[in-house]
Amino acid sequence: MSGNPDRAMLRASRLSSWGQVHPRRLRAVLKYAGRSVLDVGCSSGDYVRLLRARGYRAVGLDLLTDARWGQGSASSYVAGNALSLPFAGESFDTVIAFETLEHLERPEWALAEFHRVARKNVILSVPDCETPEALLRGGLTYTHWRDHTHRTFFSKASLLQVLGASGYQAVFYERIIPVLVDYPVLRSLHVPPNLAYPAARLLGKLPLRARYGMTLLVVAEREEVGRAL
């Protein structure tokens, strides 16, 4: 791939990880989800395959089909729209939707559908658009501001607000996927991208370092069964 090596590495990283299992998202699913799960915006279907291997009843839904759906049972996937889910009411215990709601102009419409089909709860992740003051002062922000497919930009407050208005109470919340603040420093010292990226990841794990997560992960239960965060 030609062009800027930093941009090429970022693009390759995002494409290679799209839809793949993230350990902290998975931990939330295994802890909070019921035994039947609908993955809205499932992309490659990795979560569906993993959950089915663990004995869950899991179904994936996405606007577009993916060739990797063929790696599992064909009945595990369906092409469909988050705003009009092709399932009866209370068909699942849990709906998961990772990096999906930000692509919708009216995410509350999707949440209404989630509320209709999920008996227990939802587990969501969206980009965090509330850039910390320390990064703003350094002229830094997150790459999702440059993603032209994003239609809604969430902060913690706005995400919890739309969940509350949709009949949910948050019971768990955290910021995940750390910002690699050392990467631009290393590149300014002419460290090659293939060395700067892993070095920045390693430096970010040092004790006493401030860590900034670029993604909001939340578990929210239907109000009739939920507990306040």
Tell me the domain boundaries of the chain.
21-179+210-222
Parallel, antiparallel, or unpaired for β 168-178 and 213-222? antiparallel
What would the two tokens of residue 223 be?
């109000």
| Residue 5 confidence (pLDDT) above 90 | no
Q: Name the pLDDT band for 171 (thresholds 50, 70, 90).
A: very high
Q: Name the pLDDT band for 131 (thresholds 50, 70, 90).
A: confident
- The pTM of this model reads 0.86
DSSP state of 70: G
pLDDT on residue 18: 55
Cβ proximity of 187 and 193 under 8 Å:
yes
What is the rounded average pLDDT for all residues in the chain? 88
Helix (H), strand (E) at residue 24: helix 23-32
pLDDT on residue 174: 96
Cβ proximity of 177 and 213 under 8 Å:
yes
pLDDT on residue 4: 59
Q: What average pLDDT does this structure show over 192-214? A: 91
20 CA to centre of own chain: 10
The CATH class given to the 21-179+210-222 domain equals: alpha beta
| Rounded CA separation 76/69 (Å) | 8
Task: Please provide residue 80's backbone torsions phi and psi, each rounded to the nearest 5 degrees.
Answer: -170, 180
pLDDT on residue 226: 46
22 sits in the region (left: phi over 0; alpha: psi -120 to 50; else beta) called beta
DSSP 3-state percent helix, strand, coil across the chain (nearest 5): 40, 25, 35
pLDDT digits (tens, 9 = 90+) for 103-124: 999 999 999 999 999 999 999 9
| Rounded CA separation 75/226 (Å) | 31
| Rounded CA separation 107/163 (Å) | 10
